[in-house]
Structure 1
Amino acid sequence: MDRLEPQLILKTTPPRGQKSARMRSRLAIDTPELTDKVVIAVHAPAGFGKTFLLTQWRRESLSHGAVVAWLTLDAHDDGARFVQGLGAAMAIGSGRPSFARTFEPGPGPGRDEFEGLTQWLAEVADLGSETVLILDEADALPDATIRHSLTYLLHNAPANLRIIMASRSRLNLQVADLAARGRYATVSTAALRFGVEEAVAILTGRFGAKIDADLCVRLYEVTEGWPLGLQLAISAMEKSSSPGAAIVELSKCTGDIQRYFVDSLVAHLPDEQVTFLTGIALLEMVQPSLCIALTGNPRAAEMLRDLCVSTPIFVESVDSDWVRIHPLARDFLLGRFEKLAPEQRQGFHERAALWLQQHEFLEQAARQYHLAGLPRPAYEMIEKCLYDVMLRGRFSRVLEWVEELEPEAVLSHPRICLAAAWALAMGERQAEAARLITAIEQHPSADEATRCEAAAIETAAAYFADRPDESLALITPWVDRLSTFPIKVQAIVANQIARLTLSQGQPEKARRIFQRAPHYTWSPGLDAIRGFGQWVVGLTYLWEGRMLSSQAALRASLVLAEQDIGRRSPIAVMMASALATVMLERGEVQEASTVLANRMDMVERLASPDAIVLGYITASRLASMQGHGHRGQDLLEALFALGEERDIPRFCIASLGEQIRLHALQGRSDTCQALWRRLEAVTPLIAREQTGLLGPELALMAGVAEAYVLLAKREWEAMLVVLDKAGATAEHLRRGREIVQIKLLRALALKATGEEGTPCLLEAVSLAQENDMQRVVQDTHPDLTKWVQTLQRPTLPAVTAESSAPMPVSRPESATSSVSASRLLTPKEREVLQLLARNLSNKQIALALNVGEETVKWHLKNLFGKFQAGTRQHVVARAYMLGILETAG
């Protein structure tokens, strides 16, 4: 092979692989979305891992035995030089020197490059093997080359050629026909962002036990899955003595992240663009005409478009011209905005408010009027929109406004008062909600529908204070008149009746109430009304112990809630508490931890009592299973303290009951007895007498706890009596998991008394398997797991003679390196290369392969040519660089 120009060798050499980088299985080249595509275009701004993804695909293609060529493009690659680069790339990738001579300049304008491309494509087709061409930085190509040469290449690719290209923006290509035939795929910014599970896996893989799921998810939320942001965060954490401190520093946009923005934005961008970015930073989302109004610069739309391409700080919408500024970049830019003169800042706020008001973005307009020091128009805007903000489920935002507005103003504006009352009732501030409910009912404009909604708010407040009987009494008088009220009110009340019906032990009826209720559809996304109803549906399945059905319902709803309302919104955290409980029961420990991570503070503040119990108990069990038993105990103590603080016995009983279970499994009889005395002291009369809606639930929790106390004391006869009573309550309430748990405990007690407990055990195990309760046996008592294994052991297949035969001894392979199955090399050349990497002589290689030394020399000569190398060490180095030779393990 003729020697290539040094510049072409550099352009055709792939970048160094990152050994510590995590392969992205979600974006693997053989995923269903990509596997049949002839052309794959990756486009995203800098910092989103485009080149790393290309190197991953290159390694995957090599491992499948494909010929892979790499070419990094630049602005000098006009038509002729583009073909030269293709020839050099394929010459190195395939080992065929003829590719390097693909393009030879000849006479006649405008046709040479197409003749060269045609010759190159014919040569690729002649290879007869799967071939992958990777083009990096394709946006650097001259526009003429993109429109002519690259388009020609894509449309004339032979059947064995796949083309992958990366660019910072969409290329000006005519590929509609390829897309219509299903041959063209795009991977954009949204796909390149890390998901929360990916981020958690990367961080735990790097830091292990030094970082917990809460910190991982906090970091993910700060970076919003931006790959470069996560990389900078990892760098900062490696330098810091405390991961938590590093995340705080990152959130404040200091340290490495600040240096990145200074270097990439302030130092490298023209002053006009820096000024533009500083001026628009007061808003989270912007669009071209808003930028023009805000800055007064007629070129603002053009600058926004250019910055979206050249910087990684904007998140573009899929179907609109709105873009969102990344929070880290915005924090940095807001620091510069705050340094502007006060009159300049006020001018920006006023211009933003006016444009937003004119375009019906009322809450954002109210915020800007408020920041501009103009309270009158701010109140006008918030009066019009705050109730809708509440309906969307964004209660935290409503509470923020409640804190900022004057109390008299809230009381004097009915719609603000309604919104505030709902937000306060569905949380921990029921007393404040009661004052607003009274104001709503007494306002002169209140009609019957408004009074019904006020009763619904009062019902919600009683439910969130864990007083379901009071809830039922408040809403029942309005049920018969519901059909005369607006659909919105009907849907709200139906959700409440469904939840109260579940407390009566009728989960199927609760689902039917939700399904038959009129659906209030005022918004295309998930809102608070539908979100609460869907949470109730998921909870009904969890109540019955039907884990698969519950997970299916809750997972789909949680995705919508996070997307439309927010990950830390009340609806989302309530769904997450239930979903994490289901996942833990199904053995998905890491997934459950990720779902619940960085939500517990919101669970405590804004979730319902049953969601709070689910969240705390699940978080405690997860912490203990992950080796943080002290944190698990802290969570249980915090739940008890919360119960005392809010006067909610359910929290205290749940906390003490879980502690009793844990100590009983360790045989700590005295500790269990002490905890039981505390539990008896907080058990209310309704639980002892099993009256009302809440009494049976609390009695069931206390009954299971008492059974564990008796288990620790080994008082089996008394334990059977308690279990009989608790089992009847569980059957009445149709609590599926508790039914199985009680049967398992009963089997243990029967066995200990010398009676036959196996039928009870097998029935419980059968129910658990049918409903995919994978942890209930182990969590109820470890001895049950051993018992089940003993019963199943006779059914295990016997070891056959074939399976016990000794394995054949194979020739030892190199423990230090492996060769990818690239078609650049023949099988024998791959063997020679692997032995060459072990620094063996020709004679040693010949002996190892059982061939003559002349044959080895022949293969080495071919390797020198294919790798463009002059020495044996150079061959090995080039093979490592190209990813054909890799370190094993």
Structure 2
Amino acid sequence: MTREAGSANDDLLLKVSPPRVQRHLISRPRLLASDAAFHGFPAILIQAPAGFGKTSLLAQWRLEHLSHGVVVAWLTAQPRDNPERLAQALALAVRQGAGRPGFGHVLLDAVVPSGLEGITIWLAELAQTALDVVLFVDEANSLPPASREALAYLLRNAPPNLRTVIAARPDCHLDIDDLIAYGQCAVVDPAMLRFRLNETLELVQGRFGARVDNDTAARLHELTEGWPLGVQLALTVIARGADARADVAGMAALGGALRDHIPALLLSNLEPEDREFATRISILDHLHPELCRAVAQVDDAAERLVRLGRDTPVFVASEQGEWLRMHMLVRDVLRQAFAGLPASQRAEAHARAAGWLAERGQLEQAARHALVAGQTEKAYELTERSLYESIMAHGRQGVVLEWLNQLPAAELDRRPRVLLAVAWTLSTSERHDDAGRYVERILAQPDVNDALRCECALILSGAAVFADDPDRFALLHDPWAESPPLRDPLLLQVHANRTAYRSLLEGDPAMARLRQQQSPRGDFGSGLGYVGRWGELIIGLSYLWEGQVQLADSLLQPALASAEVELGRRSRLSCMLAALLASAVWERGRPGEAAALLADRLDVLEHGGLPEALLLAYRTMARMAMADGAEHRAMELLAGLDAVGTARALPRLRVASLVEQVRMHARRYRAQTCRTLCERIEAMMKGDELPPGRLWRGSVVALQGLAQGYAAIAARDWRGALEPLARAGTLAQQIRLERLHIELLALRAFALDRCSEMEGEALMRETMDLAASYGLVRVFDDAHPDVGQWARAIAAPGDSPPRRAPLPAPPEPVAPRPDPTRGTVLTPKEREVLDMLARNLSNKEIGRAMQVGETTIKWHVKNLLAKLDAGTRKEVVVRARILGLLQSSA
């Protein structure tokens, strides 16, 4: 081989050297190479702008394939890679990856044919080998046009033993649309590469542990919008802080630091003309090519948006066809730049936006721009036309409250529909008392008819629901229960929702669902409509009411996903749906999912959530803390629930907080503490400020009986616990609170068993059967750890099992299992080496997969031979399977 050829090969070595996997990267199951979404595709194209982790994903996939004994060839493309040089690089990549020094000798040691002939020679030689090869091509966008054509030729003529994975920017056109259309090539786009909330939570927890809570991690995710590079930068900002807890307690400091880094990265590649264009359209919340053309006064707005959306992460496509939106951090920076423009230019831009939006029926956004442009009368007129629909059809309470603070009082009285919108908004919040005053102003208007009076009754009954006064709700709803004088389909749906809720309060969840199913179906525009989602919430609540957590789970999962897309993750309705779903998945034994659902949502629920949703959220979080052994955190949460109940004048929440505290202390048999808490409950129940109604008292009295039963258990007064538990169980059964009824039955069975009563175990078996049918996994452990342990002992093999499947133990926390190797302990690295030995990988192949040297692998194998008392690698694998360290299958 000549000196020139050797130098060329040395130059190519850098191209075929793969990068190391970063230490803090997480393996996202949905993006593993082994995921079913990528099975059967001979080619995969990963296409996204900078900062989306394309190279990191390729590096992770490389290690994944290496761990399965597959030959992996890596190539980093460069602008000077003509087809001849590309063919040489491919040959060297396979030679390095397969450890075959003779592969590609024609291409590397002789004159390389021109054009596509070199690629043909490489494909032919690869097809003749007995190797399964995965080829990774990174930065394919750097290739010149002729080499992109050669790469497409390679994909179309790939032999069966070759699989190709390509990473490229969106502006890279490989002309393989036919392969994609016919299922020969899978595409991974930016939406797939963005971090999802649960992935961000896992990443933050893995890097910072308990120093950063889920709420802060969720806010970080929202701030970066899941952009992988943005998430990594945010974590770097946190890590550099002197006090990580202080840095992330409030996101202001973090947001400021991110605004110094992320916008610079996102905007660094913009040409001056593009930056000016982006500055002028930054005043828009949602971007449309024609709207941007009108505001920025440029004819090529559509082409600019397409190019910028393809080349940078600044613009994100929305679900609305041609509409896009701008990254939040970048938009804030550009709006600051827009504020520096002359006042006349700013006013003209807002006026043009207002005119375009008003012509197309987007009245509320048009009103905002008109107000900024100084067109106050037009803004108020557009507000009157749009605000009522904003709250009724879209649930945009924040928009209504913003306009309430900007509209003069005189304008409100001139515009009755604005008054209605404000009253509706306040009735479904912590300001429910204020809603009554606006209703009085509405009814004081001339020409009030029965339809308006009925709507006002709906407003006030909604306020009663948020005030947790079910008896007042019934008093307001019942006169209009039959044949309401309403014609608006939205109001008819609201009335149907309230009728279903009325049945639920009477303890008839099945009738509530029937009422909801029989509700009129109007045309609410796209999707189900905001009021229809309230119907889904009521049905979900009815399932939780009777303990049907499996049905609640299946209903609320899609409902929440849809609500988050249309309303936003932190909208009130989304947060309430999440609270209900978190309670269901916790009961089903999925604590990680419950924690992610409640992350960064508690503050929204505190100010605008239904009392029931707020109670479920706090109770679920407190029980998760107890299960994790963080009793201090559970006590803090329950104290917070009591404080919210006091601030919002919701005494049932205060009673529920005290009952949960009794439950928590009864788990440790703290008899005196439980007695003191029960005395506080009794004193509260005797207070004159509590609602006197039958419906309110019914649910609270059952909770009081539960607390008294727990207090007797804490004192080990087993006989004394039977009467309050039985009384509370009767009340729970009357109003169909089946989950509470099952818990009370289990506690009664436990007390009977401690009294040496034979019927205790029989009652417990029946209760376990009920819990299994409802899907309640956590109910016994949440009731009392001794009850949970007893339930598992009854369901253990050797006893007569319940008729249904045995109750599984809660998945968290998991007690450490004894090591089956009779005291032999394997390190994580040794276990990883052992797994690869079972796949018949050589030391060299294992070293590549683990990114360590072959000498290190030999050292690990030597330790395995000694620890497992084996003489050969094969004996190591056999003994590991016997001892349970490996699965029995190969």
TM-score scaled to structure 1, two decimals? Answer: 0.86
Task: Describe the superposition over 1:24-54 as per-residue Cα deviations: whole angstroms up to 9, x where unpaired.
Answer: 2211112111111122111111111111111
The question of 1:8 aligning with 2:12 is answered yes
Determine the structure 1 residue equivalent to 2:873: none
Task: Describe the superposition over 1:322-353 as per-residue Cα deviations: whole angstroms up to 9, x where unpaired.
Answer: 22111122222233333334333333322332
Instruction: Report the AA paired with residue 82 of structure 2.
Output: D
Map 1:455-494 → 2, pairs under 5 A = 455-482=457-484, 485-494=487-496
Instruction: Report the AA paired with residue 780 of structure 1.
Output: A
> What secondary structure is seen at the aligned counterpart in 1 of 2:694?
coil
Q: Are the structure 2 counterparts of residues 689 and 449 from structure 1 closer, same or farther at C-alpha, using a change threshold of 3 Å?
A: closer
Q: Quick check: 1:62–1:820 contact (8 Å CA) kept in 2?
A: no
Q: Are the structure 2 counterparts of residues 587 and 687 from structure 1 closer, same or farther at C-alpha, using a change threshold of 3 Å?
A: farther
Instruction: Report the AA paired with residue 775 of structure 2.
Output: D
Determine the structure 2 residue equivalent to 1:759: 762
**How many residues are aligned here?**
840
Q: Are the structure 2 counterparts of residues 714 and 224 from structure 1 closer, same or farther at C-alpha, using a change threshold of 3 Å?
A: same
Q: Distance in 2 between matches of 1:119 and 1:143?
A: 20
Determine the structure 1 residue equivalent to 2:201: 200
Q: Are the structure 2 counterparts of residues 813 and 442 from structure 1 closer, same or farther at C-alpha, using a change threshold of 3 Å?
A: closer
Task: Describe the superposition over 1:194-227 as per-residue Cα deviations: whole angstroms up to 9, x where unpaired.
Answer: 1111000000110111111111111111111111
Determine the structure 2 residue equivalent to 1:509: 511
Q: Quick check: 2:294–2:353 contact (8 Å CA) kept in 1?
A: yes
Q: Distance in 1 between matches of 2:827 and 2:771?
A: 48
Determine the structure 2 residue equivalent to 1:731: 733
Instruction: Report the AA paired with residue 362 of structure 2.
Output: F
Map 1:332-731 → 2, pairs under 5 A = 332-390=333-391, 391-444=393-446, 446-482=448-484, 485-683=487-685, 692-731=694-733
Q: Quick check: 1:67–1:132 contact (8 Å CA) kept in 2?
A: yes
Q: Quick check: 2:135–2:162 contact (8 Å CA) kept in 1?
A: yes
Q: Are the structure 2 counterparts of residues 440 and 340 from structure 1 closer, same or farther at C-alpha, using a change threshold of 3 Å?
A: same
Q: Are the structure 2 counterparts of residues 407 and 130 from structure 1 closer, same or farther at C-alpha, using a change threshold of 3 Å?
A: farther
Q: Distance in 2 between matches of 1:812 and 1:371?
A: 65
Instruction: Report the AA paired with residue 523 of structure 2.
Output: T
> What secondary structure is seen at the aligned counterpart in 2 of 1:286?
coil
Task: Describe the superposition over 1:249-286 as per-residue Cα deviations: whole angstroms up to 9, x where unpaired.
Answer: 86567665334346435655433233223222222332
Determine the structure 1 residue equivalent to 2:52: 48
Task: Describe the superposition over 1:715-773 as per-residue Cα deviations: whole angstroms up to 9, x where unpaired.
Answer: 43342222222111111111111111111221232233332221122222222222222
Task: Describe the superposition over 1:147-178 as per-residue Cα deviations: whole angstroms up to 9, x where unpaired.
Answer: x3233222222222222111220643443432
What are the ranges of 5 or more consecutive residues in structure 2 without an aligned counterpart?
A: 801-817, 866-890
Q: Percent identical across equivalent pairs?
A: 36
Q: Distance in 1 between matches of 2:564 and 2:124?
A: 51
> What secondary structure is seen at the aligned counterpart in 1 of 2:239?
helix
Q: Distance in 1 between matches of 2:380 and 2:514?
A: 41
Residue 506 of structure 1: how far off its partner (Å): 0.8
Q: Which stretch of structure 1 is more off in the superposition, 685-694 or 511-520?
A: 685-694
Instruction: Report the AA paired with residue 201 of structure 1.
Output: E
Determine the structure 1 residue equivalent to 2:118: 116
Task: Describe the superposition over 1:787-825 as per-residue Cα deviations: whole angstroms up to 9, x where unpaired.
Answer: 33443456289xxxxx99999999999959959979x99
Instruction: Report the AA paired with residue 57 of structure 2.
Output: L
Residue 514 of structure 1: how far off its partner (Å): 0.9
The question of 1:226 aligning with 2:230 is answered no
Q: Quick check: 1:744–1:764 contact (8 Å CA) kept in 2?
A: yes
Of 739, 742, 767, the match for 1:740? 742
Q: Distance in 2 between matches of 1:778 and 1:588?
A: 14
Q: Are the structure 2 counterparts of residues 726 and 346 from structure 1 closer, same or farther at C-alpha, using a change threshold of 3 Å?
A: same
Instruction: Report the AA paired with residue 322 of structure 1.
Output: W
> What secondary structure is seen at the aligned counterpart in 1 of 2:477?
helix
> What secondary structure is seen at the aligned counterpart in 2 of 1:40?
strand
Residue 450 of structure 1: how far off its partner (Å): 3.4
> What secondary structure is seen at the aligned counterpart in 1 of 2:756?
coil
Q: Are the structure 2 counterparts of residues 410 and 296 from structure 1 closer, same or farther at C-alpha, using a change threshold of 3 Å?
A: same
Q: Which has the higher contact order (CA 8 A, sep 6+)?
A: 1
Residue 105 of structure 1: how far off its partner (Å): 13
Determine the structure 2 residue equivalent to 1:881: none
Q: Which stretch of structure 1 is more off in the superposition, 269-278 or 499-508?
A: 269-278
Instruction: Report the AA paired with residue 272 of structure 2.
Output: D
Q: Quick check: 1:76–1:142 contact (8 Å CA) kept in 2?
A: yes
Instruction: Report the AA paired with residue 79 of structure 1.
Output: P
Instruction: Report the AA paired with residue 126 of structure 2.
Output: V
Map 1:286-365 → 2, pairs under 5 A = 286-317=287-318, 320-365=321-366
Residue 316 of structure 1: how far off its partner (Å): 2.0
Determine the structure 2 residue equivalent to 1:795: 798
Instruction: Report the AA paired with residue 723 of structure 1.
Output: L
Cα RMSD, aligned residues only: 3.7
Task: Describe the superposition over 1:621-667 as per-residue Cα deviations: whole angstroms up to 9, x where unpaired.
Answer: 23344454334323322322333344332112111111122222222
Q: Quick check: 1:649–1:684 contact (8 Å CA) kept in 2?
A: no
Determine the structure 2 residue equivalent to 1:81: 85
Q: Distance in 1 between matches of 2:853 and 2:195?
A: 38
Q: Are the structure 2 counterparts of residues 765 and 342 from structure 1 closer, same or farther at C-alpha, using a change threshold of 3 Å?
A: same
Q: Distance in 2 between matches of 1:415 and 1:811?
A: 72
Determine the structure 1 residue equivalent to 2:888: none
Residue 612 of structure 1: how far off its partner (Å): 1.7
Q: Are the structure 2 counterparts of residues 118 and 634 from structure 1 closer, same or farther at C-alpha, using a change threshold of 3 Å?
A: same
> What secondary structure is seen at the aligned counterpart in 2 of 1:538?
helix
Of 126, 129, 149, the match for 1:127? 129
Instruction: Report the AA paired with residue 659 of structure 2.
Output: G
Q: Quick check: 2:16–2:73 contact (8 Å CA) kept in 1?
A: yes
> What secondary structure is seen at the aligned counterpart in 2 of 1:33?
helix
Determine the structure 2 residue equivalent to 1:90: 94
Residue 493 of structure 1: how far off its partner (Å): 0.8
Residue 778 of structure 1: how far off its partner (Å): 1.6
Q: Are the structure 2 counterparts of residues 827 and 247 from structure 1 closer, same or farther at C-alpha, using a change threshold of 3 Å?
A: closer
Q: Distance in 2 between matches of 1:61 and 1:583?
A: 34
Q: Distance in 1 between matches of 2:695 and 2:741?
A: 19
Map 1:845-884 → 2, pairs under 5 A = none
The question of 1:771 aligning with 2:764 is answered no
Residue 710 of structure 1: how far off its partner (Å): 2.5
Of 61, 65, 89, the match for 1:61? 65
Task: Describe the superposition over 1:663-705 as per-residue Cα deviations: whole angstroms up to 9, x where unpaired.
Answer: 2222222222222222112226999999632221111111111
Residue 418 of structure 1: how far off its partner (Å): 2.0
Q: Distance in 2 between matches of 1:557 and 1:637?
A: 31
Q: Quick check: 2:263–2:329 contact (8 Å CA) kept in 1?
A: no
